[in-house]
């Protein structure tokens, strides 16, 4: 059974025992478990969709926004994409055992620095059942056990998917408890998970600032936040405006309910009159609710644009809403982004390498784009197979959290009798 009836402490202890076994497993065994996972996803598609349909019709999902319902919804195509992601992880090099450094010290000691698994990774996430598969596949390949804690309104979907991975682990001769799923509980259960010292080696919360702040107050285990994405697109004064129009539209509209969607559009004053009427009309036609500063509203060309509040500039909408502003310089754009952004993904549209370099050096973010949509910040798009989330902090990983980000290292030192004087 995938959803455990055990306590949080018992679940984490079981995961720790499994981590000791999985950490020493061969690449071949781990890949076999992943290949079996991909196969079973295809064979059990109907069962997964049935569980997902039950989640979608459950009263617990009744109050979800359209963007959250989209994130919860599975389809044959999305399940096939999960399987493709698992196979992509199979094809990646195993990071465990990778030699990072090798040198012989003056005293003759042979010193190697090698990658090793973290141990037990716990992930807290909402809505998106595909996260269950992405996280499990990445932790298996990197030699870690995982404790998953999804939303209560995705309980059936997550349970069906976690059961498939556990079956695949057993088929490959690896411990089933390397993947454990906690039922979505309340804040008390979350606090208990965040205080499992000695069992949980890293907690990764995927969610907004509310989740982040609640954990900051209680966590005693290491936490890597895959938190909010208040992403910006800045259109510089030398931008190709047709390109900028495509990029800004894609960054907002292509999938607005995800963390790498743009929430703010900033436009240099020198091109605002030429650029804003067209892109605002495009966004409005796509159903985007627009708010903006005074100069943006003056250039709206008949498009309804509300007055932006101070709160709007710092909000991750995760929906079809966008705030638009006019700035007088690149430096003003950088200052605005650093004052309101969350360190996720920021884009500049410019024909100037110098402007790009100044923007990239000045903006404090995990990923910076020149002439591309923020929507590419994704482990699969970056060739990492999948991701557990996007870290918006600086230690110990930043950006998409993939295989290498789920490892640490140890020094292995060989001698021939040396003692320290």
Closest CA to 387 of 159, 251, 226, 194: 226
Residue 160: which domain range?
Answer: 8-226+388-414
**% pLDDT > 70, the chain:** 98
Look up residue 97 and give its DSSP letter. Answer: T
108 dihedral zone (left: phi>0; alpha: psi -120 to 50; beta): left
Do residues 208 and 84 share a domain? Answer: yes
Q: What is the pLDDT of residue 212?
A: 78
**Which residue in 165, 133, 170, 166 sits closest to 29, CA to CA?**
170
Per the structure block, which two tokens stand in for 218?
Answer: 């209680």
For residue 164, what is the domain's CATH number? 3.40.605.10
Q: Are residues 35 and 174 in the same domain?
A: yes
**The pLDDT of residue 6:** 79
Distance of alpha carbon 70 from alpha carbon 229, whole angstroms: 18
Give the ranges where 23-150 is alpha helix by DSSP (H): 27-43, 45-57, 66-72, 76-91, 130-141
**What Rg, from alpha-carbon coordinates, does the chain have?**
23
**Average pLDDT of the segment spanning 20-37:** 98
| Predicted confidence (pLDDT) per residue in 371-400, tens digit | 999 999 998 899 888 889 899 888 888 999
Structure tokens at 382: 């970056």
pLDDT tens for 335-366 read 999 999 999 999 999 999 999 999 999 999 99
Domain-embedded: residue 421? no
Residues 335 and 404 occupy one common structural domain: no
Could you tell me which residues come within 8 angstroms of residue 44 by beta carbon, excluding any fewer than 6 positions away?
160, 164
Nearest by Cα to 269 from 310, 235, 231, 292: 235
* Domain contains 195: yes
Mean pLDDT, residues 26-37 taken together:
98
Instruction: Give residue-wise pLDDT tens across range 195-239.
Output: 999 999 999 998 777 777 888 889 999 999 876 799 999 999 999
Instruction: Classify residue 401: in a domain, yes or no.
Output: yes
Residue 366's closest CA among 338, 386, 394? Answer: 394
Q: Which helix (H) or strand (E) holds 358?
A: helix 353-362
Asked if residues 146 and 122 have their Cβ atoms less than 8 Å apart, the reply is: yes
Angle at 223 between CA 3 and CA 367, to 5 degrees: 110
Strands 145-149 and 120-124: parallel
Cβ of 392: how many Cβ atoms within 10 Å?
23
Rounded distance between C-alpha atoms, residue 136 and residue 33, angstroms: 11
Token pair for 107: 């005293």
pLDDT the model gives residue 185: 65
Q: Does residue 403 share a domain with residue 290?
A: no
Contacts of residue 271, Cβ cutoff 8 Å, sequence gap at least 6:
235, 237, 239, 241
The CATH number of the domain where 268 resides is what?
3.40.309.10
Claim to verify: residue 219 and residue 235 sit in the same structural domain: no
Q: What is the pLDDT of residues 247-300, one digit of tens each?
A: 999 999 999 988 999 999 999 999 999 999 999 999 999 999 999 999 999 999
Phi/psi at 186 (5° precision) = -95, -170
Tokens, residue 354: 């110098």
pLDDT band at 189 (very low <50, low <70, confident <90, very high): confident
**In this model, does residue 172 exceed pLDDT 50?**
yes
How does pLDDT run across 85-113, given as a tens digit for each residue?
999 999 999 999 999 999 999 999 999 99
Flag whether the pTM goes above 0.85. yes
The neighbour count for residue 106, using CB atoms within 10 Å, is 5
- CA dist., res. 49 & res. 73, Å (int): 9
In the block, residue with structure tokens 């992405």 = 134
The token duo for 164 is 């498939």
Strands 390-391 and 399-400: antiparallel
381 domain residue, yes or no: no
pLDDT over threshold 70, residue 4: no
**Structural domain includes residue 199:** yes
Assess whether 17 and 80 both reside in one domain. yes
With CA atoms as reference, report the closest residue to 349 among 331, 367, 335, 370: 370
pLDDT in tens, 302-329: 899 999 999 999 999 989 999 999 999 9
Same domain as 334, residue 251: yes
d(CA 140, CA 271): 50
Q: Is 46 exposed, middle or buried (0-12, 13-18, 19+ CB in 10 A)?
A: exposed
The total domain count for the chain is 2
Residue 17 DSSP label: H
From CA 155, how far away is CA 125, in angstroms rounded? 12
- Give the three-class secondary structure for 200: coil
Query: Pick from 100, 202, 196: which is nearest to 145 by CA?
Result: 202
Residue 61 pLDDT greater than 80, yes or no: yes
Q: Are residues 235 and 218 in the same domain?
A: no
Residues 296 and 185 both lie in one domain? no
User: 405 and 334: one domain?
Assistant: no
Q: Which residues pair with 121 in a beta bridge?
A: 146, 202
Label residue 65 by pLDDT band (50, 70, 90). confident
Tell me the pLDDT band of 1, cut-offs 50, 70 and 90: very low
Same domain, yes or no, for 110 and 144? yes
- Same structural domain, 300 and 197: no
How far is the C-alpha of 198 from the C-alpha of 19, rounded, in Å? 12
């Amino acid at each position: 059974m995938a959803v455990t009836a055990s306590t949080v402490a018992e679940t984490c202890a079981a995961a720790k025992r499994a981590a000791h076994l999985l950490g020493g497993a061969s690449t071949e065994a781990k890949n076999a478990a992943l290949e079996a996972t991909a196969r079973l996803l295809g064979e059990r598609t109907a069962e997964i969709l049935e569980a997902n349909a039950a989640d979608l019709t459950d009263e617990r999902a009744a109050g979800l926004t359209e963007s959250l319902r989209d994130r919860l919804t599975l389809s044959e195509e999305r399940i096939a994409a999960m399987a493709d992601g698992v196979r992509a992880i199979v094809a990646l090099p195993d990071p465990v055992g990778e030699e990072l450094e090798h040198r012989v010290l003056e005293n003759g000691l042979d010193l190697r620095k090698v990658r090793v698994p973290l141990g037990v990774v716990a992930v807290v996430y909402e809505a998106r059942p595909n996260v269950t598969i992405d996280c499990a596949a990445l932790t298996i390949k990197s030699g870690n056990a995982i404790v998953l804690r999804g939303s209560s309104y995705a309980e059936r979907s997550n349970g069906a998917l976690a059961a498939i991975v556990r079956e695949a682990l057993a088929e490959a001769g690896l411990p089933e408890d390397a993947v454990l799923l906690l039922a979505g509980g309340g804040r008390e259960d979350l606090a208990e998970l965040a205080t499992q010292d000695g069992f949980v080696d890293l907690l990764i919360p995927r969610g907004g600032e509310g989740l982040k702040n609640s954990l900051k107050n209680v966590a005693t285990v290491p936490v890597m936040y895959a938190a909010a994405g208040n992403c910006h697109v800045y259109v510089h004064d030398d931008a190709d405006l047709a390109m900028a129009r495509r990029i800004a539209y894609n960054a907002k509209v292509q999938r607005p309910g995800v963390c790498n969607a743009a929430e703010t559009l900033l436009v240099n004053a020198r091109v605002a009159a030429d650029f804003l009427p067209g892109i605002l009309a495009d966004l409005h036609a796509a159903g985007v609710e627009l708010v903006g500063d005074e100069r943006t509203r003056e250039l709206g060309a008949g498009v309804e644009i509300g007055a932006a509040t101070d709160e709007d500039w710092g909000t991750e909408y995760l929906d079809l809403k966008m705030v638009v502003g006019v700035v007088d310089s690149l430096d003003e754009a950088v200052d605005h982004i650093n004052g309101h952004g969350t360190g996720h993904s920021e884009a500049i549209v410019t024909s100037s390498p110098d402007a790009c370099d100044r923007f990239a050096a000045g903006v404090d973010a995990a990923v910076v784009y020149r002439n591309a949509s923020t929507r590419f910040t994704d482990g699969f798009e970056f060739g990492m197979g999948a991701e557990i989330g996007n870290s918006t902090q600086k230690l110990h990983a930043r950006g998409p959290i993939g295989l290498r980000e789920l490892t640490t290292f140890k020094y292995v030192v060989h001698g021939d009798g040396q003692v320290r004087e």
